[in-house]
Structure 1
Amino acid sequence: MNLLHLPLITCLSITLSSALAASFDCQKANTPTEQAICANDDLSALDEQLSLTYRAHLGSPELDPGQLKKAQRSWLRNTRQRCEAADAISECLSDAYRERIEGLGPGTGADAQGHDWKKALRITHAAPGYDFLLDMQPCAEQTCEGPAYLGIQHTGSNEVAQAMYLPNVFLTRQENGEPLVNSARRYDYQGVINAGDFNFDGLPDFAVQNGNRGPYGGPSYDVFLFDVAHQRFIYSPELSALTLENLGFFDIDGKRKRLITFSKSGCCYHEMSEYVVEANQPIEVKREIEDAAGGSGNPEMVLLSTEELVNGKWKTTSSRQVPFKEMYGGQ
């Protein structure tokens, strides 16, 4: 299923304009902002999507509902309302809504018992001890994309222990039609759910592909860590950011307790970084750099160097030059 050889067939599994409507009664719209939202299907969908995201955040016990309500009122009053004075109110509102949804991130406190999971796609064997219910608009294509609810069950239980509202999920199916999970092959389709112990606390964590917003159109993820204090999964913006800044999902070195990322710039600069995780925060501690873009000062040589964080300061611990032809043959 290499991306270089297979066509990317994408089904917008929940088209916002058709599956979602405004979060308020459009028959009572009486402000320019409300009227603009009701007159535009995409804006109506964004309004409803923000409402669902916001409500899913209100149910998260690790968040302060008072602060969340205050921030939302401020956004409605200061950010959204300013669009009424814009020449292009629809464009202004679209940007404002997308930024707010992005800023909130996935909502981890959706109503688990009040949601109807009957049509959800069941994903088993992705994470030890858990099953997942992915509720998004049905799609038979190889890839599907759109908003979704995610239910988390303990294996063997029929009760949904936690529910999330995810503004966007990117699902890839295998040749047998089953969802692809636990796959992080670079330059290839990756798993809709990738699980592992990301913070090395001995408990399973997981990530959901939220699109292809990484470098060079690569996959990006929402990462969730199990929080012992609340006995539930919480969103990690810091680990999620690693997938936005690097090529695909990070590798996990359980023995050395390191997360490993890979990045590049064009054809001729590659960098592999290692992170330790302290208090759920990734801290970069090592870089291995392959620079064929002139870093050696000689176009026929490739500079290979290693940098490490030593006592809080970055130091070059090794450096050597290798002939270009030795590294890349006749390229």
Structure 2
Amino acid sequence: MDQLMAMRAFTRVVETGSFTQAADSLNMPIATLSKLVKSLETHLEVRLLHRTTRRVVSTPEGEEYYEKALRVLIDIEDIDTSFRVTRSTPKGHLRIDVGGSTARDVLIPLLPDFMQRYPDIRIDLGVADRPVDLISGNVDCVIRGGPLNDSTLIARHIGDAEMVTCTTPDYLKKYGIPAYPEELRNGHRLISYLSPATGRPFPFRFRENGETQEISAPHYLGVNESNAHLAASVAGLGIIQTFAYSVKTHLKDGSMVEILQAWRPAAYPFHVVYPQNRHLTHRLRVFISWLGEVFPAGLKG
């Protein structure tokens, strides 16, 4: 038995909760991974996992072994990395998840620079506004906007995006220009961004003299994907509040107009997020460092 490989196989099964997903993430046949885990249990003379047709969970002994094995694997990675980093260029496969408008307007326009710097790194880009499970989804990192509530993740702040409230000139001709935020409650058509996780609309937020005000008037239209959210307003369906970087082209050519500029809400923070129990590979380290260098400029409206 290759004990080191068996430890890697076992820890990945615990993290993903699935033999199939663990095998895929390690690029090995599921039969090979299953044999490694079984050999490890035989070697230790203890059952590490409970297997059912629907899920895999650790036994109490498995939970204890996972914590100890993970520390060993991280120490080995640290030793290897300390020797490799100064002697080689980063290479391999990165799996990154990012929201729709952030991918289109910020990350993808910046990526040619990264891929020119690091030509041996291959990237799989998952683009969706819906939250992803980094462990079960076998994702290296996620670029997220807004507050972070998951304490099991490590987050690095990579910039702040300005928020704007806007609509089309034709809409303003038909419904009038609101002079202050409260007027949005009176006869205006709001296009709310719906949380992909909960389906609830995000309120329109405004800020004056350091104080935040929320407008939670019933929306005329709700959309749960950022590109479609913008498209609905460009089509003349109503008023949106969105990232300045997402609408800057439309504001520049006059197809959209910013309103209530004096009440712009606080800037929206963006982070790159990764699991705290997963070792940072050389390729992930350079990607995170690169994001910190270039992403703030990409977020500007």
- TM-score under structure 1 length normalisation: 0.23
More helix by share: 2
Higher Cα radius of gyration: 2
More strand by share: 1
- TM-score under structure 2 length normalisation: 0.24
Using CA pairs under 8 Å that are at least 6 residues apart, name the structure with larger relative contact order, 1 or 2.
2
